[in-house]
Structure formats: C-alpha cells, structure tokens
C-alpha cells in the first residue's frame, strides 16, 4: 500500500488537536490540497481516499450543521466547505465499507448541504443591506452548485435530493432569486436522471408539480415563468405518464399558459408544451366520453335505488319525526319548569335575605338603645372587625378546601410513586449485593489456521494504520503536564469540598436559628432561662437528639400496615423521612 499524503496527515493531526471553533478554518486547507492535482488523475483519487480515510470529509459534513454566524470566517467559510465536500466525494473510490459510504454518508452529506442552503436562504430574505444580500445570494449559489456537482457524480442521489424535506422548503419560496436558483437545480436533476420522477413517491411528485404550477399562476415575472415552463416541458418530454397527470390534475393549465404567458419571450418552449397538452387531451377525449356515459348510467341507477329505499322508509321516518317532536316538547316543558323553580328559589332566597337584614338592623337598634352614646363608635368598630374576621375565615377555608381538592390526587400519585421507587431501588440494591459472582470460564483455544488468519488481519491493520512515534522527551513532558493538571484538579476539588461543607454548616445553623426564633415566646412573656437557648449551641443539638430518639422509638412501635412501603428496608435502618417527620424545617449538622 502507498503511503498517505503528508499534507493530509498533518492536517488531520491539526484538526484532532484543535478546538471546535478553529476546525472550519483548518479544513479550508483541503482546497489547496485538492487543487494541487489535476482532476481525474490517479494522484487526485489517492488524495481523496486519504482525506476520507482520515475522516476529514466527516468533519466537513458535520461542520455544515453549525451556526457559522458565531464562528471565524462566517458563512463564506461554510460555502467553501460545502464546495470542498462535494469535490471530495465525486471521483472517490471507496474500497472498504462501500455500503456505508453510498447509503449513509452520501445521503447525510446531501441533507447537510440542503440544511445549509435553507439557512442561507432565510438570512438572504431577512437581510436589509444590498451588499449583505448579494453576499448571501453568492454563498447560496455556491452551495447549490456543490449539490449539483455531488449528484452529478453520484446519479442515485437525485432521488434523495427530491425526497428531502429541505429541498421542498427551498423550492417553496416567494423570493425570485432563490426560486430561480432552485428551479435550475431541479433542471439539472432532470438532465442527470430523466427517470427520477418515476422513482420518487407520489406525494413528493405532486408537491413539486404543484409548486411549479403555482409559480406560473401567482407571478408575472418572465424569468420565473420561463424557468417553470422549461421544467414542465422537460417533464412532459421525458414521460408520457406525467403528461396525463398534468392534464388530469391541472385542468386549467392550458388556459393559464395561453392567456398569461404568450409573448413573454419564451414562446417556443411554451408552444411545445401546449402542443403536448393538446395531443394528450385529444387522444383521451374518446375515453373521457365513454367514461362520462358510464358515470351517467351509474348515477341514474344509484339515484333510483336511493329513491325506492327512501319511499320504503317513509313510515318509519314519520314515526321518528313524531318521536323527536314529542321528546323536544317534553324537553322544553322540563326547561320551563326548571326555570320557574329557579325563579321561585331565587325569590325565596331574596325574601330570606331581606328578613335577615331586617332582623339584623332591629337587633342593632336595640343594642344602640342599650349602649351608651360614647361607646357606640367602639362597638361599631368591634362589630366591623368581627365581621371582617368572619368573612376572611370563610374565604380562607373555601380557598384551602379548593386547593386541597385540586392537589389531592397529584399528591397521592406523587407519594405512591415515591414509595414504589424507594421500594424498587432498595430491592434492586439488595439483589445486587446478594448476586453471586459468575464462575470464570477458560476461553476456547484457537486452532493454528485461526491463529494465522488473526495474525494476518493484525499485520494488515498495522500496515493500514501505522502508529505515530513519540520521543521519550515528549512522553516525559506529556506526563509532567498530566501530573500538574491532576494536582490542580485535586487541590481545586478539595477546596470546593471544604467550601461546600462550610455552606452546608452555615445553612444548618441559620435554619436552626430560624426555627428557634419562630418557636420563641414573645418579649412580654420571655424568661431569663429562655436566653440560654440562644446563648448556647448545645441546647438545640440536645433537643434535636431527643426528638430523633423519640421518632425512632415511635417508628419501631408502628403496626405492620404502616410499614408497607418499607418491605425491603434493612432491620437496623430507619428512613430519613420518618426521622424528620416531626421536625419541620429544623436542620442540624448540615443535613436535611
């Protein structure tokens, strides 16, 4: 085997060691390497094989998916990489994994190129400055030329391009410049593979033809009309089945072409297309007449059958109509009755409310006669306060009940999921601990023939992939760098761990102080012994230990039906939620 090109080897090493944002600019060097050899010669084929073997074409394909507005070189670099990728793939003779190259790599390259074209088209349409629009249009033209070059070298990719969703999105646009470019791409596809329209599915074919006819009907631009007419003429010349499809699916196409596009500068192509449509329409006229007569006979027979069937069902229909009328009348009577009952209930509630208000005012007048005049304002304020408290109490109760009813099912499901997950995790952990180690089985020995074949494969692989040599000084330097980075990492992780422990400790202390402050008595009721709780840190710790001990005793004395979720818990392990059940938000030792 011939040695690989040293330029390709050096570039592959640079790409492997470089950062991600620097890779696109490095891959531009492939253009000079490809231009150094004449197209089609053995040296060019060897360079393309080396580029593919060292995965540089894969790098080019993956870079096309990135957002180049944030990378060095911008979208101009992306357009150049698209051109480089197409030139690397055309004329490449893959000797290993040919199926992967033709069925996976090339369709992925087409998809990435079309995706890049969609991005450039969108930015061209959104651009405001003329200079910026011209740049995006030039880059878009470069990408479409790369696509044409790629499926020109691999004819089977023509169907892949047509069936790609990005191609249809690029074709379905109202922009004149990009639409003309995409129609030229479609023209090149039909020239390369004239039968490609019969290889794609029917939905894709209809979408392409619909878009061409739509452009003829929705625009008056002669350039767009000329391109769409040439495409339809090319489609009609290649296959007679598609001419039948055009005449059957687009019945007004002939009138549209003759009224709107005659005298626009492409009358020759337009007259050829109209002649083909007329020929197909005249040949199918007798068949259409026979079909029309047959359809009339079928329709007359069907209408007679329906009329006879309707006459037979007429008594049943009258019965059903009477039944539905009675049901509707009964429903209206029930509605009127319910409406009267609601009005009576509303009137009764209004009378009760008036009676209650009258009794309330009489009671207030009686109390005002008893109470001294100087105490009336105080009494009224007390009554207003009590009324406000009553209203607030009823409102809070109603809101709490509503929230509880809304969240009860979700809380139940959440608790059930937690119990199931905890039980499953503990069961799996317990089973993993009890699983015995599998006994070691000696491998079967190789025969002499298998050993020779394996040795031959190893030698071939070593020849194809020679290992890079590294000097002893470089090895020592690399070892020292690794040791320094490891030491920095360990020191940084140790400092981060100490800081995290300190944060957890401070958080636990703050939560403990907050709990003590919330449970502390008021300033008017505080005693001197209560100050010891805030002066000493040992009292909260002792309180925490006593509460934890009581919780553990209560948990061990619980009946069996309260421990259904803890079947797989070890006997000496108490769940954390049971220990913290009565502690609220009190934290000790940095643990919740």
Instruction: Render pLDDT for 460-505 as a digit per residue (tens, 0 to 9).
Output: 888 888 766 677 888 888 889 999 999 899 888 889 998 998 898 8
- Backbone region of residue 265 per phi and psi (left: phi > 0; alpha: psi in -120 to 50; beta: other values): left
pLDDT greater at residue 344 or residue 229: 344
For the stretch 12-32, pLDDT in tens is 787 778 787 777 787 777 777
Widest Cα–Cα separation across the chain: 123
Residue 155 CA to residue 150 CA, distance in Å, equals 9
Residue 526 predicted with pLDDT over 80? no
pLDDT score, position 280: 64
pTM of the model: 0.47
For the stretch 534-580, pLDDT in tens is 666 666 666 777 787 888 888 788 776 676 655 444 444 445 554 44
pLDDT score, position 392: 94
For the stretch 266-275, pLDDT in tens is 778 777 777 7
Residue 346 CA to residue 532 CA, distance in Å, equals 64
pLDDT score, position 332: 94
Q: Which residues contact 232 (CB under 8 A, 6 or more apart)?
A: 212, 213, 246, 273
* Percentage of the chain modeled with pLDDT above 90: 12
pLDDT score, position 39: 66
Cβ contact 124:175 at 8 Å: yes
Mean pLDDT of the chain: 80
pLDDT band for position 585 (cuts 50, 70, 90)? very low
* Percentage of the chain modeled with pLDDT above 70: 87
For the stretch 168-215, pLDDT in tens is 888 888 888 888 888 888 888 888 887 777 778 888 888 888 888 888
For the stretch 333-364, pLDDT in tens is 999 999 999 999 999 999 999 999 999 888 87
């Amino acid at each position: 085997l011939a040695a690989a090109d040293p330029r390709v080897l050096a570039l592959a090493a640079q790409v492997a060691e470089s950062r991600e944002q620097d890779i696109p600019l490095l891959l531009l060097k492939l253009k000079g390497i490809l231009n150094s050899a004449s197209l089609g010669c053995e040296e060019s084929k060897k360079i393309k094989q080396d580029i593919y073997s060292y995965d540089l074409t894969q790098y080019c394909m993956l870079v096309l998916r990135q957002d180049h507005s944030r990378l060095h070189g911008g979208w101009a670099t992306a357009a150049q990489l698209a051109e480089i990728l197409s030139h690397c793939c055309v004329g490449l003779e893959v000797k290993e994994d040919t199926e992967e190259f033709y069925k996976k790599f090339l369709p992925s390259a087409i998809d990435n190129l079309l995706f890049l074209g969609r991005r450039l088209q969108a930015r061209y349409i959104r651009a405001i400055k003329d200079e910026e629009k011209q740049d995006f249009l030039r880059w878009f033209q470069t990408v479409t030329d790369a696509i044409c070059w790629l499926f020109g070298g691999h004819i089977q990719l023509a169907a892949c391009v047509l069936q790609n969703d990005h191609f249809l999105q690029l074709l379905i646009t109202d922009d004149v410049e990009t639409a003309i470019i995409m129609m030229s791409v479609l023209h090149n596809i039909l020239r390369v593979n004239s039968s490609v329209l019969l290889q794609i599915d029917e939905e894709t074919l209809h979408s392409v033809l619909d878009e061409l006819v739509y452009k003829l009907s929705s625009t008056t631009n002669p350039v767009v009309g000329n391109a769409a007419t040439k495409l339809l003429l090319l489609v009609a010349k290649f296959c007679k089945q598609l001419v039948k499809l055009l005449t059957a699916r687009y019945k007004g196409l002939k009138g549209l072409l003759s009224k709107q596009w005659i005298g626009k500068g492409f009358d020759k192509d337009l007259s050829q297309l109209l002649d083909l449509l007329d020929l197909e329409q005249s040949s199918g006229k007798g068949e259409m007449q026979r079909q029309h007569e047959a359809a009339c006979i079928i329709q007359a027979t069907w209408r007679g059958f329906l009329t006879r069937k309707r006459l037979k069902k007429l008594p049943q229909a009258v019965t059903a109509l009477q039944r539905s009328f009675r049901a509707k009348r009964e429903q209206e009577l029930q509605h009127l009755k319910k409406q009267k009952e609601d009005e009576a209930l509303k009137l009764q509630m209004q009378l009760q409310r008036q009676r209650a208000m009258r009794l309330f005012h009489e009671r207030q007048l009686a109390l005002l006669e008893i109470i001294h005049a100087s105490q009336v304002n105080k009494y009224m304020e007390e009554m207003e306060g009590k009324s406000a408290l009553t209203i607030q109490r009823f409102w809070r109760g109603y809101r709490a009940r509503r929230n509880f009813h809304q969240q009860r099912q979700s809380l139940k499901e959440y608790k059930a999921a937690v119990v199931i997950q905890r039980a499953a995790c503990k069961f799996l952990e317990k089973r993993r601990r009890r699983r015995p180690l599998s006994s070691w089985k000696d491998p079967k020995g190789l025969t002499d023939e298998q050993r020779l074949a394996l040795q031959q494969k190893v030698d071939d692989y070593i020849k194809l992939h020679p290992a890079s040599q590294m000097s002893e000084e470089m090895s020592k330097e690399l070892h020292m760098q690794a040791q320094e980075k490891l030491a920095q990492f360990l020191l940084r992780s140790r400092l981060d761990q100490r800081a995290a422990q300190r944060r957890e400790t401070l958080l636990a202390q703050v939560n403990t102080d907050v709990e003590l402050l919330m449970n502390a008595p008021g300033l008017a009721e505080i005693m001197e012994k209560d100050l010891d709780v805030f002066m000493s840190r040992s009292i909260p710790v002792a309180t925490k230990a006593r509460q934890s001990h009581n919780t553990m005793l209560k948990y061990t004395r619980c009946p069996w039906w309260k421990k259904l979720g803890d079947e797989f818990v070890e006997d000496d392990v108490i769940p954390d939620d049971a220990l913290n059940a009565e502690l609220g938000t009190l934290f000790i030792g940095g643990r919740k």
